[in-house]
Amino acid sequence: MARPKKNAKATAADSTTLRRSDIERALYEELQAAPAYEPVRVTRAMVEQLVSSVIDRIGEALSHDKRVNIHGLGVFQRRVSKRTKARNPRTGETVPVRNRARVGFRACSSLRQAVQSPA
């Protein structure tokens, strides 16, 4: 039996994953619908640049060992794993494994409660 092909252009309604493009689309639509005292023309390219800028700033802060606290979302923080030893399964030789940096995330209490509450 052949597997069905995945749709590369899946939308948020079709998927359980919220993608960057979904965030950009929602932000664009919200800015278009918002009442403004002085009309400002917001393009999709401007929204894409805004989202990219926010993501770049988060990455830049993490690369400089800074915490990123986004109110209502949580805290992103760079975490470094300890130096360990591993074993080569083919030879049985013990080899050192270098420290590795990764991004840690801790959700704020309101986000945790929203996830725990029934839909």
Tens-binned pLDDT, residue by residue, of the chain (119 aa)? 455 555 555 554 567 898 999 999 999 988 888 777 666 788 999 999 999 999 999 999 999 999 999 999 999 999 998 899 999 999 999 999 999 999 999 999 999 999 998 76
Q: Each residue of 43-53: pLDDT tens digit?
A: 999 999 999 99
In this prediction, residue 12 carries a pLDDT of: 44
Q: How far, in Å, CA of 55 to CA of 119, rounded?
A: 29
From residue 3, give the alpha-carbon distance in Å to each of 6, 12, 85, 92: 9, 22, 41, 40
42 neighbors 33 (Cβ within 8 angstroms): no
Helix, strand counts (H, E) of the chain: 3, 5
Structure tokens at 76: 């992103």
48 neighbors 58 (Cβ within 8 angstroms): no
Neighbours of 78 (CB within 10 A): 16
Q: How far, in Å, CA of 106 to CA of 79, rounded?
A: 12
Q: How far, in Å, CA of 97 to CA of 84, rounded?
A: 5
Q: Each residue of 27-45: pLDDT tens digit?
A: 998 888 877 766 678 899 9
